[in-house]
């Protein structure tokens, strides 16, 4: 099972739209997948589900269990202020260590409205995931100028963006 993580809690985010597109690719490849949307996190989870409260919040636990049920992850992360969203880091911090991460495999997709395509976000996230024991697929996909690339009907306008995501998904299945 592959879990596609929409790495922000922003409502109607571009990351969620890219996650939905990635799901169509995995379906075409015949892979079992599920979507995990950080917009479903409880708004107060940093004070009610972490640290001394670890394991006590049913809604946080539902998302953590959903992620734990997968051997492979695809994390779609926008670039916020030169890194990935704080809500994604807080979610990671709330997961059981090392069990949630050990022997997992992850593919990363970065997106930004600028020309870097989430490169800094993916670099920071790669460092953290590898520290926690997750193998990160070297084939990371950057989606720059995402505002112009996203299309309601095609998913992504740029053929290169679509090709890179297809190639990454195939590599993840073999990883």
- What's the residue count for the chain? 175
**In the structure encoding, which two tokens stand for residue 51, read together?**
């640290």
Residue 91 reports pLDDT greater than 80 = yes
| pLDDT of 154 higher than 80 | no
Q: Which tokens go with 55? A: 């394991």
DSSP alpha helices (H): ranges in 100-145?
119-132
pLDDT at residue 128, rounded to an integer: 97
Residue 37, domain extent: 2-174
Q: CB of 14 within 8 A of CB of 22?
A: no
What would the mean pLDDT of 104-111 be, rounded to a whole number? Answer: 98
Cα separation values, 111 from 3, 50, 85, 122, 128, Å: 18, 28, 12, 9, 18
152 pLDDT exceeds 90? no
**pLDDT, tens digit (0-9, with 9 covering 90-100), for 20-49:** 999 999 999 999 999 999 999 999 999 998
pTM, rounded to two decimals: 0.96
> H-type helices in the chain, by residue range?
14-28, 45-48, 58-68, 86-94, 119-132, 146-149, 159-174
Integer Cα distance of 110 and 132 in angstroms: 20
What phi, psi does 81 have (nearest 5°)? 50, 45
Strands (E), 12-103: 33-37, 72-78
* pLDDT of 117: 96
Query: What's the domain count of the chain?
Result: 1
**pLDDT at residue 149, as a whole number:** 96
Domain with 99 in it: what CATH number? 3.40.50.360
Q: What is the mean pLDDT of residues 77-95?
A: 96
| pLDDT one-digit tens code per residue, 47-85 | 998 888 888 999 999 999 999 999 999 999 999 999 999
**pLDDT for residue 52:** 87
Please give the pLDDT value at position 129: 97
Strand, coil or helix: what is 111?
strand
């Amino acid at each position: 099972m592959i879990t596609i993580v929409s790495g922000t809690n922003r409502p109607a985010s571009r990351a969620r739209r890219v996650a939905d597109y990635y799901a169509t690719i995995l379906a075409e490849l015949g892979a079992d997948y599920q979507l995990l949307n950080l917009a479903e996190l409880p708004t107060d989870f940093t004070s009610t589900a972490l640290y001394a409260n670890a394991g006590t919040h049913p809604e946080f636990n539902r998302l953590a269990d959903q992620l734990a049920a997968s051997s492979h992850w695809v994390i779609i992360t926008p670039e916020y202020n030169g890194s990935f969203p704080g809500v994604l880091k807080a979610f990671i911090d709330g997961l059981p260590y090392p069990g949630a991460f050990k022997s997992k495999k992850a593919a990363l997709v970065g997106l930004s409205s600028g020309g870097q395509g989430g490169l800094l976000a993916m670099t920071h996230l790669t460092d953290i995931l590898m520290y926690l024991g997750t193998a990160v697929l070297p084939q990371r996909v950057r989606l720059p100028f995402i505002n112009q690339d996203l299309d309601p009907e095609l998913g992504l306008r740029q053929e290169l963006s679509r090709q890179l995501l297809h190639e990454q998904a195939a590599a993840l299945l073999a990883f």
